[in-house]
Amino acid sequence: MNIEALHHAYAASTTPVDVVEQIFARIEAEGLHPIWISVLPKERVLARAESLAAQDKTSLPLYGVPFAVKDNIDVAGCPTTAACAEYAYIPAESATVVARLEAAGAILIGKTNMDQFATGLVGTRTPYGICSSVFNPNYISGGSSSGSAVSVASGLVSFSLGTDTAGSGRVPAMFNNLVGLKPTRGVLSAAGVVPACRTLDCVSIFAETSGDAALVLAAAGGYDEKDPYSRQPGVGAGASPWAAAPSFRFGVPSPEALEFFGDEQNPALYQAAVEALTKLGGQPIEFDLAPFLATAQLLYKGPWVAERYAAIATFIEAFKDKMDPTVAGIISGAGRYTAVDAFDAAYKLEALRGVTAKAWANFDLMLLPTAPRAYTIAEIAEAPVERNSHLGTYTNFVNLLDLAAVAVPAGMRPDGLPFGVTLIGKAFTETALLPVADKLHRALNATLGGSQRALSTTTPLSPATTPQGTLLMAVVGAHLEGQPLNWQLTQRGGRLVRRTKTAVDYKFYALKNTTPPKPGLVRVPGYAGPGIEVEVWALPSETVGSFVDGVPQPLSIGKLKLEDGSLVMGFLVEPEATADAVEITSLGGWRAYLSSLK
């Protein structure tokens, strides 16, 4: 039930009422548990569907799209339980993300099962029944956003919201063949969300495709003054010049650092993902995973677990015996940490942040297994804490280090279970990661979620013409690749995007008395020349000022029109500087001119 297919159906004869009726028919036949903790009254959902029929489909990007939310996310008039009946309360208003999605035309169906108080990556720590992978009922669904993932993978809704502190929006995506988007902390408002670790929590998105996830992110995102941890990127934040370039660099751990805890099938699938991403233009760069793993250890083996206690302190003191025993043990154990422990851990995290930053200097994004392996429900019962910890090996450090991540399906195992990998980037790079994730998804997988519907029937997600946090700059002379001033671009993190030509109404000159030799470009309205060869580079926005400041007279930076009609920043020259210059327009470019001098 991907969004694109649903919109095609609506453009034909299907109505939102038809879709809602079908969903409730399935729920009534299958029962609530274990996917749902509660569903909205059918009459309320039908009334919502009927109201949409009177609205303009084209003005609502999520028109008639059914979705679910994890039951730690508030929905007005519906109980929020966090998978603990004794904790339940009925909020007067919906979480900001829910309200924004409904404003975009989406139809909320209900609230999904989860590991209690979002504490776990397994999906078994709940009194509402254990969700399993849609591919094998003996295997866990992953948690804590278990029901949210399964509701999408089983085709009940088109997308769902989870939360992700330690990997809860990514591990269930792997076990159910879904895309799991964990955006940068604060990009999606947490107002109206029961906190787990308030300083680290993220609302996450499960979808069948990266395109669907991007659409939901656009509708739900944005600054929210109700959430003190809400953020909006500043100028240049999340700069991703690599996203528009034909090649990029991706980090892969050294082979000895990878741990699959005895699984014999996933290592080969991970290697296949590395090879696929390489074929898509990536250059694998080996890096030391150890400082990232050391960071991950801080989440549950350090004082951050005390945030979980802070979130429900009054409740746990009164109702500890009503909680899942494993969850109660983890959260109540936080009492042993002191303020000194918290500061010591903060110092250690900052030191690790500095070490890991050095690794990021060598690559643009990271490719890791989403989880080392899948476990059966029985295996989790044998060692609930230890094996839960295994599942967070490659996820626990991400929020601590303020990174963005997209979990993506990466092929099927011989035993019929799905495998998945995660693309990880710096803060605010989620919109750059999603198109890469989409390409990798299409290279490694054929079907959507738990269905047999073909991924190839969906439209690929195109990268932004101008990547997040960047500015496009056209260069024509000494800044071209291989020329003496090209370092001024590369030293600022610039990436070559493409080679093209200007529009035809430009004249080109070899300027006199410039060191190194430089050309000048002048626009002459009405002139019809050959167009001048240029290179378009993507520069991080925050570096553009220093670059422009270094441009000497008579050169300047202005708007250039390219042969396709688009406008980019680029080098121009003051017309009077051409009086004693040599016109070289007929040669079509600086490299041709340099060759003519030999």
Query: What confidence tens digit (pLDDT) does each residue in 78-126 have?
Result: 999 999 999 999 999 999 999 999 999 999 999 999 999 999 999 999 9
The CATH number assigned to the domain holding 552 equals: 3.10.490.10
- 555-561: strand order across its sheet: 495-501, 533-540, 470-475, 567-573, 555-561
Of the chain, the percentage scoring pLDDT greater than 70 comes to: 100
Shared-domain flag, residues 539 and 485:
yes
User: Model confidence at 54, in pLDDT bands (50, 70, 90)?
Assistant: confident
Residues 6+ apart with CB under 8 A from 354: none
- Give the distance, in angstroms, between the CA of residue 147 and the centroid of all CA atoms in the same chain: 20
Which listed residue (94, 133, 154, 168) is catalytic? Answer: 168
Distance separating alpha carbons of residues 461 and 570, to the nearest angstrom: 28
Q: Is 144 a catalytic residue?
A: yes
Decide if 463 is inside a domain: no
State pLDDT tens for residues 152-177.
999 999 999 999 999 999 999 999 99
Shared-domain flag, residues 144 and 278:
yes
Decide if 208 is inside a domain: yes
Which pLDDT does position 335 carry in this prediction?
A: 79
Decide if 462 is inside a domain: no
E strand intervals along 105-216: 107-112, 132-133, 136-140, 159-164, 179-182, 202-207
Token pair in block for residue 307:
């945030």
Shared-domain flag, residues 134 and 29:
yes
Decide if 347 is inside a domain: yes
Check pLDDT > 90 for residue 598.
Answer: no
Residues 6+ apart with CB under 8 A from 121: 115, 142, 143, 144, 166, 167, 168, 171, 371, 388, 391, 392, 395
Cβ(205)–Cβ(217) under 8 Å? yes
Domain count across the chain: 2
Shared-domain flag, residues 51 and 110:
yes
DSSP string over 324-361: -HHHHHHHHGGGG--HHHHHHHHHHHHHHHHHHHHHHT
Where a domain ends, among 457, 485, 500? Answer: 457
Decide if 236 is inside a domain: no
Check pLDDT > 90 for residue 146.
Answer: yes
Shared-domain flag, residues 103 and 209:
yes
Shared-domain flag, residues 283 and 425:
yes
Shared-domain flag, residues 405 and 515:
no
Shared-domain flag, residues 73 and 198:
yes
Which listed residue (38, 70, 94, 204) is catalytic? Answer: 70
Shared-domain flag, residues 521 and 575:
yes
- Domain holding 395, by residue range, is 3-231+252-457
Which listed residue (132, 133, 141, 144) is catalytic? Answer: 144
Distance separating alpha carbons of residues 515 and 513, to the nearest angstrom: 7
Shared-domain flag, residues 263 and 286:
yes
- Give the distance, in angstroms, between the CA of residue 302 and the centroid of all CA atoms in the same chain: 27
Check pLDDT > 90 for residue 223.
Answer: yes
Shared-domain flag, residues 450 and 492:
no
Q: Rounded to the nearest 5°, which phi and psi values hold at 384?
A: -65, -35
